[in-house]
Amino acid sequence: MSKYLARRLGQSLLTVFLTISTVFVLVRLAPGDPASAYAGPTATSDDLARIREQFGLDKPLISQYGIFLRDLLTGDLGTSYSFHSSALDVVLDRMPYTITLSVAAIAVTVAVAVPLGVWMARRADTSRELGANVLTIAGQSMPDFWTGVMLLTVFAVLLPVLPASGFTSWSGLILPTVTIAVLQLALISRLVRREMTTALASPYITVARSRGVSERALTWRYALANSAVPLVTAVGTRFAALLNGVVVVEVVFGWPGVGSLVVRALETRDYPLIQATVLVTATLAILVQLLVDLAYPLLDPRVRLGKAA
């Protein structure tokens, strides 16, 4: 167990390290100069040279990388060019908003997709099931930013019942959450349907039924319990994809999270801020994945970590 944990932690750290190094190189390989973006069009070449020196951009790439790694170990990700404060702090300030939105979106998706998938499995291959299937596919096929804009127009402009943007009250969470959930619904409900169809046809269900267990208990307690591991796996592996959706939706709804922050940081070529955002979100996504893996033995007592894989 502890050996398994150590190996997984090592792999996760390696992934984060490779990601952040890729971003570091990518940002600096690209054309475009943060100093001129920072100083504006009126800056003289002396100004630019001074700014480069101040940000350490005049040093060779390899020593910039060395300094970056040294600072990284002490938790210092540099100072944001546009916020003039610690890049890590800027990102961490925004993080709760992104996490709130992601958790709400996952919760709503699972709360709708699980009953829907169970229903679809019980009515497998009927016209109504096909209809529900096509509807979820339609939800998956709508561009998330478009769904967001349409929901905004209907529920915040035409019928002003919900706030249009930002985080003013908890009701501001509704529209962004729905937008993301519509996109994720198809995948999770299809998964639940597949697992449930297999489970409902297995011998242990027939045995339980012959012992007089009610259909309701068969479905929800017997069959669904066996779908928990694939379901949690899917939620875990989809978390990174979910964060992608969160970036777009944050921009549409003016949500003050990391997604809208990174779009702004890219426009101003704020290197430290870009690096900090990628580092924090990558760490979050990988951490979620790790937690999901560690949760398997709790969901299914037959699983022993480190033995199977």
Partner 1 sequence: MTTTVADPARPERPSAVTTRQLARSTAARQRRSARIKLWAGAVCTALVALPVALASLLPLPDPNAQDLSRRRLAPFTDGHLFGTDQLGRDLLSRLLHGGQVSLSVGILAVIVSGLIGIAAGSTAGYFGGWVDAVVSRFLEAQLALPLLMMLLLVVALFGPSVTVITCVIAVAQWPEVARLTRSLVLVEREKPYVAAARLLGMRSWSVLARHIVPNIVRPASLVILLLLAQAVLLESALSFLGAGPQRPFATWGRIISDGQDYITTSWWLVTLPGLVIALLVVGVNLLGDGLRDRVRTTKPTKLAKGA
80, 83, 86, 87: CA torsion to nearest 10: -50
The DSSP secondary structure of 56-84, one letter per residue, reads TTTS-HHHHHHHHHHHHHTT---B-TTT-
For residues 205 and 199, the answer to whether their CB atoms sit within 8 Å is yes
Cα–Cα distance, 128 to 189 (Å, whole number): 15
Q: Determine, following the binding rule CB under 8 A, whether residue 248 of this chain makes contact with partner 1.
A: yes
Choose, by CB under 8 A, the member of 150, 225, 291, 298 that binds partner 1: 150
Smallest separation (angstroms) from partner 1 to the CB of 131: 10
Per-residue mark of binding to partner 1, 66-85 (x: CB under 8 A) = --------------------
Choose, by CB under 8 A, the member of 56, 66, 96, 143 that binds partner 1: 143
Smallest separation (angstroms) from partner 1 to the CB of 149: 6
Choose, by CB under 8 A, the member of 97, 144, 188, 191 that binds partner 1: 144
Cα–Cα distance, 44 to 230 (Å, whole number): 59
The identity of residue 134, as a single letter, is: V
Q: Which of residues 198-237 bind partner 1 (CB under 8 A)?
A: 237
Q: Determine, following the binding rule CB under 8 A, whether residue 160 of this chain makes contact with partner 1.
A: no
Q: Determine, following the binding rule CB under 8 A, whether residue 26 of this chain makes contact with partner 1.
A: yes
Q: Determine, following the binding rule CB under 8 A, whether residue 19 of this chain makes contact with partner 1.
A: yes
Smallest separation (angstroms) from partner 1 to the CB of 100: 16
How is residue 135 written in tokens?
Answer: 């509807």
Choose, by CB under 8 A, the member of 3, 31, 84, 211 that binds partner 1: 31
Cα–Cα distance, 203 to 200 (Å, whole number): 8
Residue 177 or 277 with smaller CB distance to partner 1: 277
Query: Any bridge partners for residue 86, and if so which?
Result: 79
Backbone angles phi, psi at 79, to 5 degrees: -100, 130
Smallest separation (angstroms) from partner 1 to the CB of 145: 5
How is residue 289 written in tokens?
Answer: 């994945």
Q: Which has the closest alpha carbon to 225: 252, 199, 204, 203? A: 199
Q: Determine, following the binding rule CB under 8 A, whether residue 92 of this chain makes contact with partner 1.
A: no
Residue 9 or 138 with smaller CB distance to partner 1: 138
DSSP 3-state helix, strand, coil percentages of the chain (rounded to 5)? 80, 0, 20
- Return residues touching partner 1 (CB under 8 A): 11, 14-15, 18-19, 22-23, 26-27, 29-32, 124-126, 129-130, 133-134, 137-138, 140-147, 149-150, 152-153, 157, 237, 240-241, 243-244, 247-248, 251, 259, 262-263, 266-267, 274, 277-278, 281-282, 285-286, 289
